[in-house]
Structure 1
Amino acid sequence: MTTPTPAGPPALDTAATTTHGAQLSRSLGVGGNVLITLSGISPASSVFILGGAALATYGTGVFWGFLLAGVISLLVAYCYAELGSRHPIAGGDYTLVNRVLGPAAGAAVFFINLITLPLIVAIFGIGVADYLGVAIAGLDPMWTALIVIALATVTACFNIRTNAWVTGAFLFVEMAALAFLALLGFIHIERPVTALLDPQALDAATGGLAPLGIAGLVLAVTQGIFSYNGYGGAIYFAEETRNARRTIARAVLWSALITVVAEIVPLSAILLGADSLEELFGAALPVESFLTARSGEAVSIVILVAIALAIVNAIIAIALQSGRLLFAAARDQAMPAAIARPLATISPTTRMPVRATIVMGVIALAACFVPFDILLNATGSTLAFSYGFIAIAALVVRRRRAGETVPTGGFRMPLWPAPPVVALIAIATIFVVGILDPAQWLSLGLAAGIVAAGFLYYLLYLRSNPGAAHLLEADDDEPEPVK
């Protein structure tokens, strides 16, 4: 039986605004967008937390793993850049997938981000006490997380330019910490650069180094991809970036490139400058151990406090992204009108989606009470699903529909379709390795369940509501006067 075609989306009044009826403040330049995006990635906390865990598990394989992960991340960044240039609309992955692959896939990606963004904020919040604790004894992780997330949510409700300045100041501190870490390694090199090219990890049985197998190297690549994640966050601020159709791709690509360099350089410096690789890989916290050995206890405390500030900065940036995700979905009528109406409003004072930001902040606060292992498992494999949807969208985005015109002045990735194809192959490899590893089954199962819930939401609600999830076209991205 043929389903009747629903009526087209309601006419959208774009005469009053160039931001799809929302009055978001188009006052960010490319630099401001990159500052907020890099803050959400938090290269410093990635090096200390994810990079440190990778050193302990994969040894010198971290160099090849993070290098290959950097190549894959730049390919995915090309996908984000072209998709964002064609659809410079707030909402991140959800808006891109929704407009290219349709509302069913869009609902799946919306569910991924709706669940994982608050969970990531909760994970970061709980981790703040570990680093602040070196300077302030007796901090309770739960209360620290609740206070930090509440303050970050309030900050994320300020106007976008204020947030760019706040996150930029924090970002300067964490990039300085990374530069100092790299300097410590490079001024006291203990082994030749060729040592980086031989993947070896600590053998628990012998206490010495042993060759790292292909499976271990693939897992190191996976860790690197997760560590670099977040450059696509530039799309969340597309409606607040001037001349977005022509500049949003630069924000994405610069964010990805800076992240890869900012993480792989200090990790390489640590591998070259550590007194003993066996001791480094055997340490409970390899990066902190190297830092203390090279700079002393007092300087180490200062750097670790800087990392705590970097984590707080990341929470602010992710709170900004979370608010725009919920705002964009509400504006698309991807939820019942009684819920969507208040969430799709903009504060007339700050021109920010304050209600949507607060709601996502409250969800993040509630997530702090979820057991930490569940938080980690629920976010561990969702990234591969998100990247998979983005790569597929980048493959089909150049397909012309009847009556569709190709936007002018946008970014077109070089060597298309090679970047999304290679990215999909890499993502498929990660899935295969995850399926073969029983330790990854829970994480993969939770991620697959979230995606399935999104498709089920489409089947049970969106498909039967013609007014829901209508696609807003980005028909004008010229800047508004900055007030």
Structure 2
Amino acid sequence: MTRSTTPPGVTGQPPATYDGVLSRSLGVGGNVLITLSGISPASSVFVLGGAALAAYGTGVFWGFAIAGVISLLIALCYAELASRHPVAGGDYSLVSRTLGPATGVAVFFVGLVTLPLIVAIFALGVADYLGVAIGGLDPLWTAIVVTVLATATACLNIRANAWVTGAFLFVEMAALALLAVLGFVHVERPVSALLDPQAFDAATGGLAPLGIAGLVIAVTQGIFSYNGYGGAVYFAEETKNARRAVARAVLWSAAITIAAEIVPLAAILLGTGSLTDLFGSDLPVEAFLEERAGHAVTVFVLVSIALAIVNAIIAIALQSGRLLFAAARDQALPASLAAPLTRVSASAQMPWVATIVMGVLATAGCLVPLGVLLNATGSTLAFSYGFIALAAIMMRRNASPGDGYRMPWWPLPPVAALLAIATIFVVGVLDPNQWLSLGIAVGIVAAGYAYYFCYLRSRAGTHLLLLDVRDEEG
């Protein structure tokens, strides 16, 4: 790979940089389209939002509102970090260049394991939604076919992927708009009902107040549902004027996601005929659609959700390929593995080998039982967000006043985010049902640190070369 030097800084030392080899052809809008596709607000509302409605009732509004505030705080941390280090590789690139190589490698391990498994989780759910229109679909083979097709699509030029994911995204946003309209034109209760957290009580068949513990878990569900706005950083090297544009892409993605999820959920709560029936349903969002729009519209929307899931898989495949490419270019892997993983397509200007390798891992993940996949990915998000918040604090201490985007209300965003994440950890530790997931997350992070100290640290002169990429657009 080629390296260049930037103009000398105040120290007189010209820091080395990578020459850009990816297609710098995305604007803020194109980056946001792909990032939102990876989040998939519609599937979040139907799957995660539906599960939250069944478990936490009207507490979902408070939970998702608080989660929205926390997510915006974390998005501010991502934005400031990305404006200093607009390098493909997402969390790994930001953390390694701020908190140091050891923690960066731990975060790389988190992404290396979880991104392919998240693709597998999404893919295994496609048949459930397509099945309403196409009977007899085998979940496993459907997942494998979808994963292979998504990986092939991810090997196209980034602008082509922006158009493809943008078209799918339009369909899923239309589905969310339909939910909002159906709820707001059939309002059955005052807005104040949203502010009174009540959940379904199976013992009485009615509603009962939701406790603080339940509300905290609803917040964690909301944070997980909004997750993905940091994905904009994966495309930093393909975004024009990246030091400014990627920060804007992160913030726009977070704001749009929060609005696109909380508005239809509020509409459902206000517009359903019976809260008790809604919360007692196995699939609350689908039940609301059946109630207000009928079976034919419900089938159409569920097929749209299947397309939204496929869209998310394409976007996550794009991200995962860039993670592996960035780590290989930094020599975070043995040279024999790193060399082929840094290959870039001459025509599409994308890391095709790394993308295919991650696609193969995702396809293999489809063979793993769903329960194992969920446990393996369930608690890693808190670790990732915790490292990002710490990185934002450390970077501000070392940054010059005029360097890139600077978040408002400093140091509230990272400190408040860390407190929220600490609360999530405490809740997880107190809940025996989450111990396995937490243990797996701790194990992945520990494996990353062990790999660094046992292999990479002694090769510091030739491995883990943490350079930035020259932003040729400004």
Distance 1:121 1:292 in 2: 29
Amino acid in the other structure paired with 2:41: P
| Pairwise CA distance, 1:399 | 2.3
Residue number in structure 1 paired with 2:271: 273
C-alpha distance in 1, partners of 2:5/2:43? Answer: 41
* CA deviations over 1:391-419 (Å, ceiling 9, x no partner): 0001110223xxxx738561100111110
Q: Which runs of 5+ in 2 are unaligned?
A: 7-15
Q: Deviations over 1:327-379 (max 9, x none)?
A: 00000000100000010111111100000000000000000111110100111
Does 2:138 match 1:140? yes
How many Å separate the matches in 2 of 1:14 and 1:153?
A: 34
Q: Which amino acid counterpart does residue 108 of structure 2 have in structure 1?
A: F
User: What secondary structure sits across from 1:13 in the alignment?
Assistant: strand
Question: In 1, distance between residues paired with 2:281 and 2:22?
Answer: 48
Match of 2:89 among 82, 88, 91: 91
Superposed counterparts of 1:349-388, under 5 Å = 349-388=347-386
1:197 corresponds to which of 185, 190, 195: 195
| Rounded Cα–Cα distance in structure 2 between residues aligned with 1:416 and 1:165 | 37
Please give the per-residue CA displacement for 1:170-204, whole angstroms capped at 9, x wherever unaligned: 00000000000110000000100000000000111
Shift of 1:446: 0.5
Which secondary structure does the structure 2 equivalent of 1:158 belong to?
A: coil
Aligned partners of 2:272 and 2:278 also within 8 Å: yes
Q: Encode CA deviations 1:290-339: one digit per residue, 9 max, x unaligned.
A: 00111011111100000000000000000000000000000000010000
1:12 to 3, 9, 21: 3
Aligned to 2:12: none
Task: Judge conservation of contact 2:150–2:317 (CA < 8 Å) in 1.
Answer: yes
Q: Indicate conservation of the 8 Å contact 2:122/2:309, yes or no.
A: yes
Aligned pairs (5 A) from 1:79-158: 79-158=77-156
Which residue pairs with 1:292 in the alignment?
290
Residue in 2 that maps onto 1:427: 421
Q: Deviations over 1:22-58 (max 9, x none)?
A: 5101000000000000000000000000000000000
CA contact (8 A) 2:102 2:449 kept: yes
1:263 matched to 2:261: yes
Could you give the per-residue CA deviations for residues 124-148 of structure 1, whole angstroms, max 9, x where no partner exists?
0000000000000000000000000
Instruction: Say which of 445, 468, 473 aligns to 1:473.
Output: 468
Distance 1:19 1:186, change over 3 A: farther
Paired residues for 1:281-430 under 5 Å: 281-400=279-398, 406=400, 408=402, 410-430=404-424
Equivalent in the alignment of 2:168: 170
Q: In 1, Cα distance between the equivalents of 2:407 and 2:20?
A: 29
CA distance in 2, matches of 1:413, 1:472: 24
Is this contact kept in 1: 2:84–2:403, CA < 8 A? no
* Other structure's SS at 1:397 match: helix
- Normalised to the residue count of structure 2, the TM-score between the two structures is 0.96
> Which letter does structure 2 place at the counterpart of 1:427?
I
- Alpha-carbon separation, structure 2, partners of 1:443 and 1:315: 23
Q: Quick one: distance in 2 between partners of 1:347 and 1:269?
A: 46
Taking the aligned partners of 1:441 and 1:322, their CA distance within structure 2 comes to 27
Paired residue for 1:3?
A: none
Q: Retained in 2: the 8 A contact 1:245–1:409?
A: no
Partner residue, 2:213: 215
Aligned partner of residue 199 in structure 2, secondary structure:
strand
- State the TM-score, normalizing by the size of structure 1: 0.94
Say which SS state the counterpart of residue 208 (structure 2) adopts.
strand
Are 1:232 and 2:215 matched, yes or no?
A: no
Residue pair 2:86, 2:468 contacting (<8 A) in 1 also = no
User: Following the alignment from structure 1 to structure 2, what is the Cα–Cα distance between the partners of residues 200 and 478?
Assistant: 54
Letter in 2 for 1:219: I
Show the counterpart of 2:69: 71
SS of alignment partner, residue 97 of structure 2? helix
CA distance in 2, matches of 1:14, 1:156: 31
2:19: which partner in 1? 21
Name structure 1 gaps, 5 residues minimum: 1-9
Contact 1:33 1:241 in 2 (8 A): yes
| CA distance, structure 2, for counterparts of residue 72 and residue 33 of structure 1 | 22
Task: Give the corresponding residue for 2:440.
Answer: 446
Deviates more, 1:458-467 or 1:68-77: 458-467
Which residues in structure 2 correspond to 1:453-464 (within 5 Å)? 453-464=447-458
- Contact 1:19/1:239, CA 8 A, preserved across alignment: no
The superposition leaves residues 419-473 of structure 1 with CA deviations (integer Å, 9 ceiling, x where unpaired) of 0000000000000001000001001000010000000011111101121111112
Higher mean Cα deviation, 193-202 or 460-469?
460-469
Percent identity over the alignment is: 74
Contact map agreement 2:42 2:305 (CA 8 A) in 1: yes
| Structure 2 match to 1:6 | none
- 8 Å contact kept, 2:20–2:237: no
Q: Distance in 1 between matches of 2:246 and 2:400?
A: 17
- Alpha-carbon distance in 2 for matches of 1:398, 1:409: 10
**Post-superposition, which runs of at least 4 consecutive aligned residues in structure 1 deviate over 4 A?**
none
CA contact (8 A) 1:381 1:444 kept: yes
Partners in 1 of 2:2 and 2:247 — Cα distance?
28
Task: Kindly indicate whether the alpha-carbon contact (under 8 Å) linking 1:114 and 1:326 is maintained by their aligned counterparts in 2.
Answer: yes
- Output one character per residue of 1:41-87: Cα deviation in whole Å (capped at 9) or x when no partner: 00000000000000000000000000000000000000000000000
